[in-house]
C-alpha cells in the first residue's frame, strides 16, 4: 500500500470534467503550468478512519515536466521512487529490492505523476471542483477520480502564492494522508541524474520487472 500511495502522490487517469467545473479545471491548469520543475521537502502523516496516526514520514521531492520525478523518503523507512519519463523504479533499501514498471502502466491505474504529468489531461482524468475562498494565487481544489481501480477516492490540492503547498488524500478505507511541502523551489535546473536509479543500486538489488 505504501508503494501504491507514493506512486499516487508523485499522474492521472479517468473521464471528463463537467461544463460546470471547466473553470476549476482551467484555474488548476494555470497554477500547475507555472512550475516546469519543482524541488521541495515534504512531511507526510497518515491517519486511519478512527483518527489514529498510522504513519509518519519525511523526505524530498524533485519534479521536471514531462513525467520525470524523484520522491525520496528519508525516514523512518527509506524508500525511493524515480521516473525518467519512460519507466518507474521503486527502490526499497531495507529489502534490497527494485520494482520496475512502465510509466504508462502506472498512469492507467493510478494518478501517478500528477505533479510532473501533462496538466492538459486533468479534465480527462478527474472531476475538478474549486472549494472554499480563493484568489488567483491562493486556491483549494478537490479532485475525484472516476477510475474504479484508483488507490484513492479524493485528493485535495492547496496552493499558497501560486505554489502547491499541501496535498490531502482519502482512500477507500477512510484513511487520510496529508503531505505538507516546505523549502519549495520552482523552475530551477535539476540534474538529469536525479531521475535515474544509480547503477550500483541496480547491480546490488533484486530487480523485479512488472
Q: Note the pLDDT tens digit of each residue in 117-143.
A: 667 777 777 888 998 877 766 899 998
Instruction: Give the count of alpha carbons within 13 A of 198, CB side only.
Output: 6
Beta-carbon count within 10 A of 55 CB = 16
The pLDDT tens digits of the residues spanning 143-197 come to 888 777 777 888 899 999 888 899 998 988 899 999 999 999 999 999 999 999 9
**Burial of 148: CB neighbours in 10 Å, binned 0-12, 13-18, 19+:** exposed
The answer on pLDDT for 3 being more than 60 is no
- Beta carbons of 68 and 86 less than 8 angstroms apart: no
**Is 9 in a helix, a strand, or coil?**
helix
The CA-based angle 74-88-77, given to 5 degrees, is: 20
Residue 172: predicted pLDDT: 85
CA-based nearest residue to 164, from 1, 3, 2, 9: 9
What is the pTM assigned to this prediction?
0.81
Model confidence at 103, pLDDT cuts 50, 70, 90, reads: confident
**Residue 47, Cβ density class (10 Å: 0-12 exposed, 13-18 middle, ≥19 buried):** middle
Mean residue pLDDT across the chain: 82
Model confidence at 93: pLDDT above 90: yes
Q: What percent of the chain has pLDDT over 90?
A: 42
Which cell numbers hold the place of 28? 488548476
Amino acid at each position: 500500500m505504501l508503494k501504491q500511495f507514493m506512486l499516487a502522490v508523485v499522474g492521472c487517469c479517468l473521464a471528463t470534467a463537467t461544463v460546470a467545473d471547466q473553470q476549476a479545471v482551467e484555474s488548476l491548469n494555470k497554477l500547475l503550468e507555472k512550475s516546469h520543475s519543482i524541488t521541495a521537502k515534504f512531511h507526510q502523516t497518515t491517519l486511519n478512519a478512527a483518527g489514529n496516526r498510522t504513519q509518519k514520514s519525511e523526505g524530498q521531492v524533485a519534479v521536471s515536466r514531462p513525467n520525470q520525478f524523484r520522491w525520496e523518503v528519508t525516514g523512518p523507512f527509506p524508500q525511493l521512487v524515480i521516473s525518467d519519463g519512460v519507466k518507474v523504479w521503486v527502490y526499497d533499501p531495507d529489502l534490497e529490492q527494485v520494482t520496475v514498471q512502465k510509466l504508462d502502466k502506472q498512469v492507467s491505474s493510478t494518478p501517478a505523476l500528477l505533479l510532473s504529468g501533462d496538466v492538459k489531461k486533468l479534465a480527462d482524468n478527474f472531476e475538478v471542483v474549486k472549494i472554499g475562498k480563493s484568489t488567483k494565487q491562493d486556491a483549494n481544489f478537490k479532485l475525484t477520480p472516476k477510475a474504479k481501480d484508483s488507490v484513492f477516492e479524493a485528493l485535495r490540492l492547496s496552493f499558497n502564492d501560486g505554489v502547491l503547498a499541501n496535498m490531502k488524500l482519502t482512500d477507500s478505507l477512510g484513511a487520510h494522508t496529508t503531505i505538507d511541502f516546505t523549502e519549495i523551489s520552482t523552475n530551477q535546473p535539476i540534474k538529469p541524474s536525479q531521475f535515474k536509479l544509480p547503477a550500483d543500486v541496480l547491480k546490488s538489488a533484486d530487480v523485479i520487472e512488472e
